[in-house]
Structure 1
Amino acid sequence: MTRLNAIGRQYTPTIALFVALLLIWQLAASFSGIREYLLPSPISVWDALWTGEISWSQHLWVTTWEIVGAFLMAAGVGVALGVAIAWSPLLANALVPFLVFVNTLPKVAVAPLFLIWMGYGIFPNMLMGALIGFFPVVINTAVGLSQVEADMLDLGRVFNAPKWKIFAKIRIPNALPYILSALKITATAAVVGAIVGEFVASQKGLGYVIVTTQSSMNTSVAFASLIWISVVGLVLYGIVVLLGHLWAPWAEGLD
């Protein structure tokens, strides 16, 4: 009960803020005279969340799969590249400028190229999400592996520990808080990337729903789609936070 009370106190201000914003939104939609297609009320959006007009389960599944796939690809590739950069100065000199170049590419301009190369489907949108989210993982992994106390490294050398064992026993535990912090950023970036991909080329997904509602001015459905997207992002972010508490409890103060 003490733990639950602490969690309740922690998130009470957030809940209060959301409730206040919903009340302001409802009052603005009801009494400001703004047309429904410009600003639907929260009640209209709530109705749209459960309406049979849109097959939410189908679109939600597609977008969730894209976001999770993008996150896993960004995490796996990002950690691998970060380890490579920290392992070898030669690889660092070769990879870092190239990765910076890739990260500076305008992602919206890259999305049509994915469409040309791979066509419609889930995988191109996964790649788009991974492309947006991998760079923080690379940088944080490399920094976490490199910024280790010299005394710890000297201790490993005193015991003649091989380089791989120093990595496994000293550098990687030191890097876990850095990696987990980057994964929190990547969890939200993967959502953005997947939706950008759906905007450019998709036949299913929550981003596709938003695009198709523009012609009919069905703004309530568009808002409902945004809510589902936020729910997926929040759940993924929460999973990363939970894994952080399990894998690196000593880093909880960094949240």
Structure 2
Amino acid sequence: MSADTMDGAGGRVPRMAMERWRPMLLLFPERIILPVLTAAGLLLVWEIVVRHYEIPPALLPAPSQVGQRLWEVLPLLLEHAVPTTLESALGFVLASLLGVGLAILLTYSRLFSAAVYPTVVVFQLIPKIALAPLFVVWLGIEMQSRLAFAVFISFFPIVIATEAGLRNTPPDMLRLCKALTATGWQIFTSVRLPYAVPYIFSGMKIAVTFAIIGVIVGEFISAQKGLGYIIIFASSQADTALILAAIFVLCVVGLALFGAVAAAERLVVRRYGFA
């Protein structure tokens, strides 16, 4: 019996399975072990510096103090992480739909592009933090203002990336489709959109981080719950360890959302045959 057909009972791993997992095994030290060691080294240096110079905890607590505070208030932080996560995810989804739709209109309508694109760029150049209080005035202190602000600051990268992807379709492919009498919808769904998928997800990866920032800024201003509210509350109490613990949970939330976008990208890219 060959090595390809023997199972685990025979004491060998199937060759096809080994070939499938070999690239991941080769990248494991670089993508997992190296970042973990780097982070551990930075935390160790942080701990040593704080203890050596006896820095007050209110100014900069040691990682061990932050970890202890995190353990003490973890249920509270997880409770407040729920609205932050849900609002960030919803804001990102709305920004993605708005960004992709607007990019399609900008690509297919020259008149619409000439009329709207400069306005979109001008709004992007405005400092976003300065507009956050206006969203509260316009939409109130509830979730609507935070969602609107998150969408406002996160949709632009998706618009730019999607438009670039739609416009960068190989001309030879478009000429071939026209020669085959393909309809505009067939060209869009079978050629333009698949070629734009990597661009779209590049914009989405940026947008998901912006959506989290938008929600946190909104929570700074008006919310009574959420990680942004916890950070503001801890700041008023000079509880720096709690601030850093909340930021740690916020980083975990951001990594989870970013990882979800990256996983969706892999599935869609594989669906269209790019990988």
**TM-score, normalised on structure 1?**
0.93
Q: Which ranges in structure 1 are unaligned for 5 or more consecutive residues?
A: none
Q: Match of 1:14?
A: 35
CA distance in 2, matches of 1:127, 1:10: 39
Aligned ranges 1:80-95 → 2 under 5 Å: 80-95=101-116
CA distance in structure 2 between the aligned counterparts of 1:195 and 1:186, rounded to whole angstroms: 14
1:123 to partner: Cα distance: 2.4
Q: What is the 5 A alignment of 1:121-200?
A: 121-200=142-221
Q: Does 1:103 align with 2:120?
A: no
Determine if the alignment matches structure 1 residue 113 to structure 2 residue 130: no
Percent of counterpart pairs with the same letter? 35
Q: Distance in 1 between matches of 2:194 and 2:104?
A: 13
Query: What whole-Å deviation, never above 9, does each CA across 1:158-215 have from its counterpart, x for those lacking one?
Result: 1111112111111000100000111111111111111111112211111111111122
1:36 is aligned to 2:57: yes
Determine helix, strand or coil for the equivalent of 1:248. helix
Tell me the CA shift for residue 3 of structure 1.
5.3
Alignment counterpart, residue 260 of structure 2, candidates 234, 239, 249? 239
2:26 maps to a residue whose letter is A
Q: Helix, strand or coil: the match of 1:161?
A: coil
Residue among 77, 81, 91 paired with 1:60: 81
DSSP-derived class of the 1:51 partner:
helix
Give the counterpart letter for 2:189 in structure 1: A
What is the rounded CA distance, in whole Å, between the counterparts of 1:251 and 1:207 in structure 2? 39
Q: CA deviation at 1:119?
A: 1.4
Asked if 1:74 corresponds to 2:131, the answer is no
Q: Give the partner amino acid of 1:134.
A: F
Structure 2 counterpart of 1:119, which letter? G
* Equivalent-residue separation in structure 2 for 1:91 and 1:155 (angstroms): 27
Q: Give the counterpart letter for 1:13 in structure 2.
A: L
Q: Is the 1:25–1:41 Cα contact (8 Å) retained in structure 2?
A: yes
Q: Distance in 2 between matches of 1:234 and 1:176?
A: 21
Tell me the amino acid that sits aligned with residue 23 of structure 1: L
Distance 1:234 1:54 in 2: 19
The one-letter code matched in structure 2 to 1:5 is L
Cα distance in structure 1, aligned partners of 2:72 and 2:139: 33
Query: Could you state the TM-score of these two structures normalised by the residue count of structure 2?
Result: 0.87
Structure 1 distance, partners of 2:116, 2:24, is: 46
- CA positional deviation for 1:57: 2.5
Secondary structure of the 1:8 match is helix
Q: Does 1:5 align with 2:49?
A: no
- Match of 2:59, SS state, is coil
CA contact (8 A) 1:49 1:221 kept: yes
Calculate the aligned-residue CA RMSD, in Å: 1.6
Q: Which moved more, 1:177-186 or 1:8-17?
A: 8-17
Quick check: 1:210–1:222 contact (8 Å CA) kept in 2? Answer: yes
Q: Write the distance in 2 (CA, Å) between the matches of 1:126 and 1:31.
A: 44
- Helix, strand or coil: the match of 1:202? coil
**Cα shift at 1:27:** 0.8
